[in-house]
Structure 1
């Protein structure tokens, strides 16, 4: 699998500037741009397989959202929220000089894309929402919060892979080789061992969510979803605890009336790294 190019772009926050890293595949002169945005505690290399499959047709860009991967950490953890992430992506799109883009977003990355796609004069022409919608189940948030930001250290890659597999059962079936490939970019060297790639402080605003804030956020997300006009594909793990079938069905009837595709024997969230999942995304993106 070819190695992507690593680039950085400077973005503005409340304390100054931070650098956001982004990975890039394909011809950088290609005007067809595909942005792939990852989930809450993940990073851009999650999309290695999808990006490789799409690099012949697109300039594929997968950012490490601030606080993750090769990006800077924020000095003020309150900045780890959707408005910051969306503003950073606007800066990234300006750097790419992309007049029109297609967007694939998993979980948090889908919410970033949903917000951007709802704006007037949005550059997003096609949107793939991977196992996320305006209504997010509290039980799933509680599950994610049970491990997000905890101090972790592993002696070996194998140990880290075993732990990450234990908290990632919803990702579906992967070979050991595939899982190790997904695990490596999730780690930073720590002496003779490894620690998670992300800033533990990303959990601070996540844990500050109250029922009242969650209800207001859900209302705002539905309003944004209803404003989306571009063609939209909604992917759902059939066993997802974050995106219910009821919410997914509502998303096929409202706003952009998303086309829905469910993957059996997968929860939250499909990793888009196996051929049958890549094929679904590829068919949607390349359709006239």
Structure 2
């Protein structure tokens, strides 16, 4: 086990080699945690949080972080139109089957939360507790437009320091709470490094899936998919400066799911870094409460 995890590979139903990281060991009576990243992100986003959860002295639990197809250590898909939430949810379902995980607690950041909602149809029994990190059934067009513009026009940094400077320039105002160590950790998560040079760690053809989205009209709401979580303990986390998940949507989520817990992270935007501040403890405590209810 290097750096606190083991790499795990499995084959998708259409023949791609997909990657996940495994932290810690399965513990009887404790839910394993499945971590699902954002649109262009990868397992490294969850590294610090996974170490905290798996290394908890009182309540250690196994953590599994998945790379979607075309991201991180997973193969790119030769057909870019397969970069869909439904396809990715099916890949996660298959990965859980190969790993022998019948149910788990789930953390979904941004697109990861949409994948979780899709799993309510594909494998509802797998979901015993859910953390939605800055994502809900209504995606604000302004937030998605910002993401699309950034991804399409992102400069190519020359080294780590340059990459940190770029991230701060684009996201610094929304993430005023981050310290220098947070920015470096976030940068190292976003990029892989080839001969010291940062390279975005996703298939660039993924951006084609965003170009067909008409942002002049409201995006389709996913309330029916969210309703699939009504019987499941949910913690919804929102960055106070988020432009993707609105305060109104978070309030409506709480109205429709009266037992849902909410948490707003000051000084962060889309999406909050889950390893910062008191978030690891809050997430662990939420999972512990869910275990008492569901196991």
TM-score with structure 1 setting the length: 0.89
| In structure 2, distance between residues paired with 1:257 and 1:222 | 16
Pick one of 110, 120, 130 that aligns with 2:133. 130
Report the Cα offset of residue 35 of structure 1. 0.4
Q: Which residue of 2 aligns with 1:164?
A: 167
- CA RMSD of the aligned region, Å? 2.3
Report Cα offsets for 1:153-194 as digits up to 9, x if no partner.
322111112212333334553322232222223223445623
Instruction: Evaluate the alpha carbon distance shift between residue 212 and residue 186 of structure 1 in structure 2; reply closer, same or farther with a 3 A threshold.
Output: closer
| In structure 1, distance between residues paired with 2:114 and 2:40 | 14
- Is the CA contact 2:10–2:98 (under 8 Å) kept in the aligned structure 1? yes
- Is the CA contact 1:117–1:230 (under 8 Å) kept in the aligned structure 2? no
- Is the CA contact 2:49–2:274 (under 8 Å) kept in the aligned structure 1? yes
- Is the CA contact 2:53–2:280 (under 8 Å) kept in the aligned structure 1? no
Instruction: Evaluate the alpha carbon distance shift between residue 40 and residue 171 of structure 1 in structure 2; reply closer, same or farther with a 3 A threshold.
Output: farther
Is 2:11 the counterpart of 1:27? no
Structure 1 residue ranges without an equivalent (≥5): none
Q: Which residue of 2 aligns with 1:10?
A: 11
Partner secondary structure for residue 36 of structure 1: strand
Partner secondary structure for residue 66 of structure 2: strand
Runs (4+) off by over 6 Å:
none
Partner secondary structure for residue 34 of structure 2: strand
- Is the CA contact 1:129–1:232 (under 8 Å) kept in the aligned structure 2? yes
TM-score with structure 2 setting the length: 0.87
- Is the CA contact 1:26–1:58 (under 8 Å) kept in the aligned structure 2? yes
Report the Cα offset of residue 226 of structure 1. 1.2
- Is the CA contact 1:34–1:101 (under 8 Å) kept in the aligned structure 2? yes
Structure 2 residue ranges without an equivalent (≥5): none
| In structure 2, distance between residues paired with 1:116 and 1:32 | 17
Partner secondary structure for residue 158 of structure 2: coil
Pick one of 123, 140, 144 that aligns with 1:141. 144
| In structure 1, distance between residues paired with 2:152 and 2:52 | 32
Q: Which residue of 2 aligns with 1:210?
A: 214
Q: Which residue of 1 aligns with 2:182?
A: 178
Q: Which residue of 1 aligns with 2:70?
A: 67
- Is the CA contact 1:149–1:202 (under 8 Å) kept in the aligned structure 2? no
